Amino acid sequence: MTVTTRDNRPCPRDRTPLKSHRHTIIGAWLCSACRGLWLPGATVEKALGHVADSKHVAVGATAAASPLACPEDGASMAALKYRGVEVDLCPQCHGVWLDRGELQHVTTGTALGGLGAVAPTAHAQGDALGAGDVLLEIIGFLAQLFIF
């Protein structure tokens, strides 16, 4: 696993360049400032087996306009709310953004310790997302939200 920074993928909240975190099956981008998480459309599609589409969401999910712009293409995202959790979806590239507070709702506190530990430390560098458990929890949530 490696951590790299690309300047052309800014955090939709604070414009901080997102850092890439690679897991065996999931590529995710994390903001070191606000701890938000960006899952590119390709990642979500790979994990779910289909694209994340606001037209195919679980019963009970609501959609509203989001003030956030997609870090990939600058498109206005849609805020989807499901089971008290809000995620932002890009209608163009189908990427998904989760604020740290929303991550906390999706995951149970313990796993989040790993996600929050983005500061490069000797053992944690490149492994800030733990063994992928946090990401798997998030994907599990998205799989309930985006139905095919």
- Residues near Zn ion (CB under 5 A) are 11, 13-14, 16, 31, 33-34, 36, 70, 72-73, 75, 90, 92-93
Minimum CB separation of residue 57 from Zn ion in Å reads 17
The distance of closest approach from Cβ of residue 51 to Zn ion in the complex, given in angstroms and rounded to an integer, is 12
Q: What's the 3-state SS for 98-121?
A: ECHHHHHHHCCHHHHHHHHCCCCC
Nearer to Zn ion, 98 or 135 (CB): 98
Least distance to Zn ion, CB of residue 59, Å: 26
The least distance separating Zn ion from the CB of residue 35, rounded to whole angstroms, comes to 7
36 versus 114: smaller Cβ distance to Zn ion = 36
Pick the closer one to Zn ion by CB: 44 or 136: 44
Please identify, using beta-carbon distances, which residue of 77 and 106 lies nearer to Zn ion: 77
Write out the DSSP string of 49-110.
SS---TTSB-TT-EEEEEEEE-TTT-PEEEEEEETTEEEEE-TTT--EEE-HHHHHHHS-HH
Query: For residue 135, what are its two tokens?
Result: 């990401």
Give the span between the Cα atoms of 10 and 8, in whole angstroms.
6
